[in-house]
Structure formats: C-alpha cells, structure tokens
Amino acid sequence: MFKKLLVANRGEITIRVLRACRELGIPGVAVYSEADRGALHVRYADEAYCIGPAPALESYLNIPRIIEAAQRAGADAIHPGYGFLSENAAFAAACREAGITFVGPSPEAMRLLGDKVEARRVMRGADVPIAPGTDFIEDPAEAVRAAEEIGYPVLIKAAAGGGGRGIRVVNSRQELDQALETARQEALSAFGNAGVFVEKYLDRVRHVEVQFIADRHGTVVALGERDCSVQRRHQKLVEEAPSPAVTPEIRRRLCEAAARGARAAGYENAGTMEFLLDRDGNFYFLEVNTRLQVEHPVTELVTGVDLVVDQIRVAAGEPLGYTQDDVKMVGHAIECRIVAEDPYNNFLPSVGTITFVREPAGPGIRMESALFQGMEVSVYYDSMIAKLIAWGADRDQAIRRAHRALTEFKVLGVHTNIPFHLQLLEDERFRRGDVHTKFLEQEFRLERTLPTDGIDAAFIAAAVLAAERDRRGLQLQAGTNGTAPAAGWRAAGRVAQVRGGIQYRGMGWR
C-alpha cells in the first residue's frame, strides 16, 4: 500500500479522497491555490502545499508544481479527483515519469479512449453497440453520403471532444457544409485537433452510464448503471441508480458491454462507460470517462462498494477482491448537485461569501461538500458546492428523502439551485421516471411562485424586524448581489397541495 497520497484537486472530491486515505491509514496530502489557503480540503489533509495563484491554469492545472509538491511531501501516489487534470494523459505520464503512481488508468488507455473515433473503433471491435456513424471525415462529400445513409438529423462531433463539448446538430443537407467547416475550426481551436466525425442524432433518449472497475489481475467488474438524463446544456444535475428505464435484462447487457469494452481498451482502475438508451431498450456507446465521476456516490449507495478505496487498492496492485457475481444492487439512490447559481435569473453563477450553512442529515442522507461558514465561492472554480445523495429502499423513498433533505439545506451568501431541485423532485414526470436528456430544456419550467401561508409569515417577520430596527437598531447582513426585488414573483396557493405524492405542507425549516 502507498506510504502517502496526494490529491491533485480541491473542494468536496478532495475531502472524499482524503477520507478514504484516513480510513486506509494512508497520510493524505492536499495542494492549494492562493485563493484556497483556508479551504476545508487544506485543513483536512495531513500535509498541504501551495501550488500557485488562484487561476486554475497556474495551480490546479500546473503539472510541474503538483509533481514538485508530491516529491517534497514524499507522496508515492496521486489521485486526480475529477475535472482539472483527471483525464489528462500527459499528467498521468508525468506521474509515471516521476515514479509516482497515478490513481487511474494508464496514459495509453486515456489517450486511446480520449479520441472519440478511436474509442468507437475499439468498442465496435469489442461488440459494444455504437450509434451509426463514421470514422474521421476527410472529405465533405463523405459526410454528405454518411448523413444521407444515417438519415437527418445527424451530429458532427469533434474527435477530441467530450462531456458534451464539440458537438453540432445538423438537421438537413442545407446545413451540412457550413456546420462541418465550423465544427472543424472550433475543434481545432478548442482541442487542438480538427478531426470530426458524423454520428446519428438520437432524440428523446436517456443518458445511462455503467460504472466499472478493473484490477491488474484481469478482474473487471461492472457496478450497474446510473441514469443521468436530467441535464441542462449537457451539465448533469441529478443522477440516480438504478435507472428507472433499465430492466434486469438491459442491465445485464449494459454491464457485459461495459466490461468487454474495458477489457478491449486494456483498462485498469475505475471508469465509466456512457451510453444513450432509446425507448426500445437499445443502447449506443457514447464515450468512456477515464476517471472517478462526480456522481459515483449513487453507485456506492446501492452496491455498498467504496469506489475510492477500491481505486487506491487496485492502483497499489491489490486484487479487487470481488467479482461480477458478488455485485448486488440494493434499493435506490439519487444525487442532487447543489450549484451556486441563481435559478430565477437564468442560472447565472452566484459568487460571494457563505455567511451561514446548515447541511441536511438523518436517515438515508449522505452529504459530500467542502462548505463552511466564511467560505468564498469564487469565479475561479466550478460552481458546484455540494452533493446531496439520498438512499431509499425504493425510488419513491429515495426521492422523498432527498426532497426532505433539500428542505433542510440552508446556504446564505450565494444563491443556489435548491429551489430547482425541490420542484424537480415534485414533478410528476420525473417521479414517473419519464425524462430524457432534453427534458429540462424542452419540458420543464421553474415556477416563480411563493407559498401563500409563507407570505403572511414573511409579512409578520418583516413587521417585527422593522419594529426591532426602529426600537433597538437591529443589524442584518446586506442583501447578496444587490438582488432586485423579483418582479416576476407571484403568490400561489402551493400550501397543502399534494403533487407527485409530495405534500407541500411540511416543507419545514420553513
């Protein structure tokens, strides 16, 4: 086992990995930018080293500084978390060169799977279903032929893209030439690689992904699927396991495909194979995420596996210790990504100082966060500030618990998307499991209503506050971001309605 492990990341995922280290008895090392000196991940770690100024390019993406910190600390392993350098093959290679174990797949596997065209080729060879499409398109005429054959609409995708970036939808022949040219230029400027390919555009599909983990000794285990269809602009917001649309038979096929694909790619450590699932139960390979995912806890809650502990163990050369037959999914788990943004103002990122925080707890609730009173939510980093994960014996209970926990969650100082999550979990379509990747954008509208009984309570509260100020000079914090009194608000009788099985009365911490 490792003598010391450095986490090349920040925020909740760093604490997640440091917790695993502590449970394994491995000293944990944090790195931090100048903006993060007081951050929780720095305080949680046994050791901490500054790796540069606030901008990520100069710190959390700064490979030499991170390797240097690891060497100074005497760390023999680096966990990259997600984001930042986690899918950067050059970083994995730099670790190897420095004699440090990178907790993740080999640089070769990362490179192979990072190229979408190569990845499609490998998966096709491993008999993993892929969407109809092409290899690299060199000649525009080739694209025209392919599109005609596949049928419009089609996608033009950057070979080096990923996570929804570098994708254009083409609806007809007329749009094709222009789209192809633009896509190539964009791909070149964004990824340094002009390679593009054409793929069938699948509509009203679900995003379903399979978590897998592989050790050095030939064991590959698929840990069931997650459903991440609730997205806005390719940004996942809610993930759950199992998928409401996946039958045991589809699950078996998905898991087998993922395991075959991982073997074919020579994959070691944890990874995720993403698929699109259509209404007929057909699924198509999308891409492999060669790292730990944000949403890994939902898999942990239904399988009982500790993915981060297992990542570290297999990176150290230990055998996984369990096989596909040992994997049982029990109950249902759902994750809500809590993001610092203003749901009522076009989901604009919200920055500021957290002046108060109370996180949910109790039965079935797991929180992953690095929140504390006094924390700065800055422009420099991702705006996800916490993950709320709920487990229930069935999907309904998981949703009820998540909803209950959301009502307990209090964050002051920045706006959050908690109101969005509450309404989503109350939505009948979501509660039926009837969503697809465009559901949020096409079918869901955030309400701007205020509960009537809350209106009178707010009036009473304001009257008392006004009287206290006039009498005794009560002091309060100034409003965040100079929020304008929301003109669009209207009162609505949401009280005592029961919608989607969740009663509004009893919203508590009201």
Partner 1 sequence: MAVTYQLQIGEEKRTAEVQQDEDGRVRVRLDNRWYDVEVQRINGGEVFSLIVEGESWEFTAVDTPGGFEVIIGPHVYPVAVGGMKTARKAGGAAAGADGTWTLTAPMSGVVVDVYVSQGDQVEQGAVLMVLEAMKMNNELQAQKSGTVQTVHVTKGARVDRGAPLITVA
In the complex, the smallest distance separating the C-beta of residue 32 from partner 1, rounded to whole angstroms, is 10
C-alpha to C-alpha distance for 482 and 475, rounded to whole angstroms:
17
Binds 348: which of partner 1, its own copies, none (CB < 5-8 Å by kind) = partner 1
- Among residues 261, 262, 268, 311, which one has the least CA distance to residue 107? 268
Judged by CB, which is closer to partner 1: 48, or 314? Answer: 48
Judged by CB, which is closer to its own copies: 70, or 167? Answer: 70
The site for its own copies (CB under 8 A) is made up of 15-16, 18-28, 43-46, 297, 300, 304-306, 308, 330-331, 358-359, 361-369, 372, 393, 397, 400-401, 403-404, 407-408, 498, 501-503, 505-510
Binds 505: which of its own copies, partner 1, none (CB < 5-8 Å by kind) = its own copies
- Peptide bond just before 55 cis, omega within 30 deg: no
Alpha-carbon radius of gyration of the chain? 24
In the complex, the smallest distance separating the C-beta of residue 391 from partner 1, rounded to whole angstroms, is 22
C-alpha to C-alpha distance for 74 and 347, rounded to whole angstroms:
43
Q: Which residues pair with 5 in a beta bridge?
A: 28, 77
Binds 461: which of partner 1, its own copies, none (CB < 5-8 Å by kind) = partner 1
Binds 313: which of its own copies, partner 1, none (CB < 5-8 Å by kind) = none
Judged by CB, which is closer to partner 1: 218, or 509? Answer: 509
C-alpha to C-alpha distance for 115 and 463, rounded to whole angstroms:
62
- 344-357: b (≥16 Cβ within 10 Å) or e: beebeebbbebeeb
Binds 49: which of partner 1, its own copies, none (CB < 5-8 Å by kind) = partner 1
Binds 169: which of its own copies, partner 1, none (CB < 5-8 Å by kind) = none
Judged by CB, which is closer to its own copies: 227, or 300? Answer: 300
Rounded to the nearest 5 degrees, what angle is found at the Cα of 147, between the Cα atoms of 141 and 152?
A: 145
Q: How many CA atoms lie within 13 A of 274 on its CB side?
A: 24
In the complex, the smallest distance separating the C-beta of residue 155 from its own copies, rounded to whole angstroms, is 37
438 Rama class: left (phi>0) / alpha (psi -120 to 50) / beta: alpha
Report the 10 Å Cβ neighbour count for 152: 15
In the complex, the smallest distance separating the C-beta of residue 459 from its own copies, rounded to whole angstroms, is 19
Judged by CB, which is closer to partner 1: 141, or 487? Answer: 487
Judged by CB, which is closer to its own copies: 401, or 415? Answer: 401
Which of the 8 DSSP states describes residue 344?
T
Judged by CB, which is closer to partner 1: 387, or 421? Answer: 421
In the complex, the smallest distance separating the C-beta of residue 161 from its own copies, rounded to whole angstroms, is 32
Token digits for 125?
């060879």
In the complex, the smallest distance separating the C-beta of residue 286 from its own copies, rounded to whole angstroms, is 28
Sheet strand arrangement including 154-162: 165-170, 154-162, 196-200
Binds 457: which of partner 1, its own copies, none (CB < 5-8 Å by kind) = partner 1
Asked if 268 and 193 touch (Cβ cutoff 8 Å), the reply is no
Binds 349: which of partner 1, its own copies, none (CB < 5-8 Å by kind) = partner 1
Taking CA atoms, 164 is separated from 167, 220, 234, 485, in Å, by: 7, 27, 5, 35
In the complex, the smallest distance separating the C-beta of residue 1 from its own copies, rounded to whole angstroms, is 10
In the complex, the smallest distance separating the C-beta of residue 258 from partner 1, rounded to whole angstroms, is 29
What backbone torsions phi and psi does residue 366 show, to the nearest 5 degrees?
Answer: -120, 125
Judged by CB, which is closer to partner 1: 279, or 510? Answer: 510
In the complex, the smallest distance separating the C-beta of residue 448 from partner 1, rounded to whole angstroms, is 10
Q: Which residues are catalytic?
A: 291
Binds 139: which of partner 1, its own copies, none (CB < 5-8 Å by kind) = none
DSSP labels for 75-108? Answer: -SEEE--SSTTTT-HHHHHHHHHTT-EESSS-HH
Asked if 151 and 165 touch (Cβ cutoff 8 Å), the reply is no
Taking CA atoms, 179 is separated from 174, 202, 276, in Å, by: 9, 18, 23
C-alpha to C-alpha distance for 21 and 471, rounded to whole angstroms:
54
Asked if 79 and 15 touch (Cβ cutoff 8 Å), the reply is no
The separation between CA 368 and the C-alpha centre of its own chain, rounded to angstroms, equals: 12
Judged by CB, which is closer to partner 1: 26, or 48? Answer: 48
